[in-house]
Amino acid sequence: MSIKKTGAIAGLAAGVLIFLQGTLGLAGEAPATRRATSGPAATQPSKMGVGSGELMGKLSSSSRDERIAVADEIRKLGRAADQDKAVSLLTAAVKKATGEELLALGGALWRLDPRKAKVLGLDRVTVSLGETDLKMAWIPGGEFWMGCSRGDGDCLDDEKPRHRVWVDGFWMGQYEVTQGQWIAVTGKNVAAFHGCDECPVEMISWKRTHDFLKKSGLGLRLPTDAQWEYAARGGVDAARYGVLDEIAWHGKLVAGKRPQSVGSKKPNAFGLYDMLGNVYEWCEDGYKSDSYQSRKGLTRNPFVRGYGPEYRSLRGGSWRDYPEKVRVSFRGWFLPDGKAGFTGFRVVR
Ligand SMILES: [Ca+2]
């Protein structure tokens, strides 16, 4: 799996990125190399007019060059901070696009208006994040049994009782945040097992995740515990969403002596990779061992706030954990400034 962008889509996405920065005043400048080499979308003046009707017409073209020229026009509109028109143009472009182009244009629209992306039926988008891509999947809302899975003999007391929970739909990263993405947003690598752009970033504290989330400028958050577990299960009411060795890097695998490249095990039904194993994933919630005991009937979007130095929640087990911790209902915890070579995260919006 490659996270780096390539070829024509990179040029198109770069043009859209510059447009978005102009429109939204996003935090963080694109690297200089990105601006200098971002292809015809960013460097060639277009001869087209700026009338949106004409641009709409051009979007019906099947020519790649025409579409890139349209992206350039959208960028110009961005300079004028005309967000409604930009959303309208990107919406039209998304309707015409397929394959990788659809993911990239969908990602550009998603940055401006994620609800519009959902209305158009998109369930996957690719979003520029510096020189890397962030791949997000739509997780449709629904009910599930949270806590100790039926027949799971490894459950601890804090996983009980299992209880009924509703979670609203949300967008979630298909992969753990990688070292490459961390560098793209923060400019430095803090991982203990550094030198692997496609490995999950670790040595990440709960507090550190919030530096990344803020600097991304994308309105990203950590999942709640309930969002994380609902997403990890992918509709499966069992301790794991597949055969352990096929879905997770855990402590009994020979290669599990360090974190592994994200996405190299099988995903779950939502298209999410490494929900179990590889690195533990921070959730926004505080950890309280008895937090399930007061929940009666159907609980909607539960969230347990942690205050100050109280423990925060970590989920999914890691490359160093034995299988009894690599279960969807297992609850880990750590101080909010605690970090190790097995603590990472993924994002939601
Ligand atoms: Ca994980």
pLDDT score, position 84: 84
Q: How far apart are CA 216 and CA 184, in angstroms?
A: 9
Helix (H, G, I), strand (E, B) or coil at 274: coil
- Tell me the whole-structure pTM to 2 decimals: 0.81
| Ligand 1 center–CA 224 separation, angstroms | 15
How many angstroms does the Cα of residue 21 sit away from the middle of ligand 1?
31
Long-range contacts of 42-45 (CB under 8 A, 24+ apart): 42/11, 42/14, 42/15, 42/18, 42/72, 42/75, 44/69, 44/72, 45/72
Looking at residue 130, what is its pLDDT? 87
How many Å lie between the centroid of ligand 1 and the Cα of residue 268? 12
CA of 305 to the centre of ligand 1 (A): 22
pLDDT of residue 82: 78
**pLDDT tens figures, 214-252:** 999 999 999 999 999 999 999 999 999 999 999 999 999
Q: Decide: 105 and 90 in contact? Cβ < 8 Å.
A: yes
CA 316 to ligand 1 centroid distance, Å: 5
Distance 123 CA to ligand 1 centre (A): 21
Residues of the chain predicted below pLDDT 70:
1-81, 255-256
Q: How far is the CA of 197 from the centre of ligand 1 (A)?
A: 16
Domains by residue range for the chain, with CATH: 7-129 (1.25.40), 137-344 (3.90.1580.10)
Whole-number Å distance, alpha carbon 273 to ligand 1 midpoint, is 8
- Which pLDDT belongs to residue 61? 57
Q: Quote the strand ranges of the chain, DSSP E.
A: 124-129, 132-139, 142-146, 163-167, 170-173, 280-286, 298-300, 312-315, 331-334, 343-344
Distance 280 CA to ligand 1 centre (A): 5
The rounded distance, in Å, linking the Cα atoms of 58 and 71 is: 11
Tell whether the torsion through CA atoms of 253, 255, 258 and 259 is positive or negative. Answer: negative
Q: Which residues surround ligand 1, an ion (CB under 5 A)?
A: 274, 278, 316
For residue 128, report the distance from its CA to the centre of ligand 1, in Å. 22
Distance between Cα 89 and ligand 1 center (Å): 37
- The whole-angstrom separation of Cα 341 and Cα 193 is 7
Residue-level pLDDT at 47: 31
State the distance from the centre of ligand 1 to the C-alpha of 91, rounded, in angstroms.
34
According to DSSP, residue 348 is labeled B
343-344 and 280-286: which strand pairing? parallel
Output the CA 169–ligand 1 centroid distance in Å.
21
pLDDT at 328: 98
Nearest residue to 231 via CA among 162, 315, 290? 315
Give distance in angstroms: CA of 176 to centre of ligand 1: 6
pLDDT number for residue 60: 56
For residue 231, how far is its CA from the centre of ligand 1 (angstroms)?
A: 12
Distance 142 CA to ligand 1 centre (A): 22
CA 346 to centroid of ligand 1, rounded, Å: 8
Angle at 259 between CA 224 and CA 210, to 5 degrees: 35
CA 7 / ligand 1 centre spacing (Å): 30
pLDDT score at 83: 80
Closest CA to 88 of 47, 60, 53, 128: 53
